[in-house]
Amino acid sequence: MIYLSLVMVTVFSATQTAYGTQIDLKSRVAQQVERIKLISGHSEFGSGELPEPFPPDDSAPVPQLIKYGMDVIPDLVPYLADKSFTKAYRFHSSGWTQRARVNEYIILVINRITEHNFYLPPEQSDAARTLGVSVDPAMPKDIGELQGQINAWWRKNRTRTLLDRKIDDVNDPIHENRFAAYEWLGRTKAEAGRLPLERRIDSLLTGEVNTLKQSEMAACAESLAKIGSVQSADIVRKVCDHLSYWVYMSYRPVGEGRAGRGSMQLYDLFKAHHALSSLGFKEEALSRLQELELKYYEQMDPSTQQEFLRNLENARNW
């Protein structure tokens, strides 16, 4: 009986401790949010960025909240509805100035902790709504939907590894999260990311063609090259073939109709061929590029010719 009583006391004490810790965390979050309201200053670089989220002293409220880690997310989510103003001003060199709100700092904290980008709902003017200006369907329609997204993500991911989360992000609805996942898997040379990246390329090669998909497949190819498995060479070749085909479509005889050339066309083309070279097929990659030069160089405008030759010269040093 004495032993049972001791067990019950121990369990009760542990429960009290956990509850006390939770209450203490809520209190500390509330204190830091009050400090966010006192942040002042203007955007340092004139690009409209939030002023002073990471001053040299890490005792500031944003870095302090980030230190609390994944456990703090549920306590931060309610503050996404706090649209009150801080004393800071966003400034853009084009001339506009806008006072920063509390929830802009809160979403920044959440994104840093989760290493996943969530976005505040886009605010549209009445005129924009009347004109039917489209909003990315992957973006939340309101704060309630955003809070639901983050809470659902947290329940699923709070105990999972960053690797598993980045593999999931390869197919995230938000393209910024996809690109961040491609880059992370390549930078960390994550072998577990190889097949998800290859499958992603296969998916990108189906359906409609657009410049975003082409940039994504080039980014996937680059990351596969960093992972370094020669088994990825075939799928990287498919990316090179696809991008080369659209160079042909941009410069084939005018009478056959030409496709528009995206601003990233040559950048993505050389990135994919660099990936092929990095996997051990430099001669093949150079040969492919030189063939494109032979066929289409004369059809390019002078600035594109210069860009192509500059990239080709760099390619010889891969």
Position 259 scores a pLDDT of: 84
Q: Is 86 helix (H, G, I), strand (E, B) or coil?
A: strand
Residues 275 and 221 sit within 8 Å (Cβ to Cβ): yes
Residues 310 and 318 sit within 8 Å (Cβ to Cβ): no
Position 54 scores a pLDDT of: 85
Helix or strand holding residue 242 (H, E) = helix 233-251
How far apart (Å, rounded) are the C-alpha atoms in residues 218 and 211? 11
Residues contacting residue 186 through CB under 8 Å, at least 6 positions apart: 193, 222, 223, 224, 225, 226, 227
Position 273 scores a pLDDT of: 98
pLDDT band for 13, please (50, 70, 90 cuts).
very low
**pTM of the predicted model as reported, rounded to 2 decimal places:** 0.87
Position 198 scores a pLDDT of: 98
Res 132 pLDDT > 80:
no
Beta pairing partners, 90: 98
pLDDT band for 137, please (50, 70, 90 cuts).
confident
Residues 52 and 2 sit within 8 Å (Cβ to Cβ): no
> Of 256, 241, 258, 257, which is closest to residue 292 (Cα–Cα)?
241
pLDDT band for 173, please (50, 70, 90 cuts).
very high
Position 21 scores a pLDDT of: 58
Overall average pLDDT of the 10-33 stretch? 69
Position 51 scores a pLDDT of: 86
Please provide the average confidence, as pLDDT, over all residues in the chain.
Answer: 90
Position 179 scores a pLDDT of: 98
The ranges assigned to domains in the chain are 2-120+136-157, 162-315
Of 10-24, 86-100, 116-130, least confident by mean pLDDT is: 10-24
Overall average pLDDT of the 115-125 stretch? 84
CA torsion sign for 43, 44, 47, 53 is negative
47-64 pLDDT, tens digit each: 889 988 888 878 899 999
> Of 245, 272, 249, which is closest to residue 260 (Cα–Cα)?
249
85-112 pLDDT, tens digit each: 999 999 888 888 999 999 999 999 999 9
Residues contacting residue 20 through CB under 8 Å, at least 6 positions apart: none
Res 313 pLDDT > 60:
yes
204-251 pLDDT, tens digit each: 999 999 999 999 999 999 999 999 999 999 999 999 999 999 999 999
C-alpha distances in Å from residue 169, one per residue of 10, 153, 181, 213: 42, 12, 6, 15
Q: Candidates 1.10.10, 1.10.8, 1.25.10, 3.40.50; correct CATH number of 162-315?
A: 1.25.10
